[in-house]
Amino acid sequence: MEIDSLGAMKLSVRGEYALRALLVLGRDYLEDDSVVRIQAISDQQHIPKRFLEQILNDLKSAGIVESKRGVAGGYRLHKPPDRITLAEIIRHIEGPLAPVSCVSEKFYEKCSCPDESRCAIRSVMKEVRDSIVKVMEHTTLADLADRARTLEQEPLSASDFMI
Q: Please tell me the number of Cα atoms within 13 Å of 100 on its side-chain side.
A: 17
In whole angstroms, the minimum distance from the beta carbon of 58 to DNA comes to 9
First vs last Cα of the chain: how many Å apart? 22
User: Site for a copy of itself (CB under 8 A): which residue of 12, 34, 39, 57?
Assistant: 12
- Phi, psi torsion values for 8, nearest 5 degrees: -85, -65
From the list DNA, a copy of itself, none, partner contacted by residue 92 (C-beta under 5 to 8 A by kind) = a copy of itself
85 by DSSP, 3-state: which? strand
List the interface residues with a copy of itself, window 114-153 (CB under 8 A): 114, 117-121, 123-128, 131-132, 134-136, 139, 143-145, 147-148, 151-152
- Phi, psi torsion values for 85, nearest 5 degrees: -95, 155
50 touches 101 (CB < 8 A): no
Number of residues that bind a copy of itself (CB under 8 A): 74
Interface with a copy of itself by CB under 8 A: which range of 29-37, 45-53, 64-72, 76-84? 45-53
Name the residues that contact DNA, by CB under 7 A: 2-4, 6, 12-15, 17, 35, 37-39, 48, 50-51, 53-54, 56-57, 60, 67-75, 94
**Per CB under 8 A, 63 contacts a copy of itself:** no
CB-nearer residue toward DNA: 72 or 120: 72
CB-nearer residue toward DNA: 100 or 140: 100
Beta strands, E only, the chain: 65-68, 74-77
- Residue 94: name the closest of 5, 8, 14, 26 by CA: 14
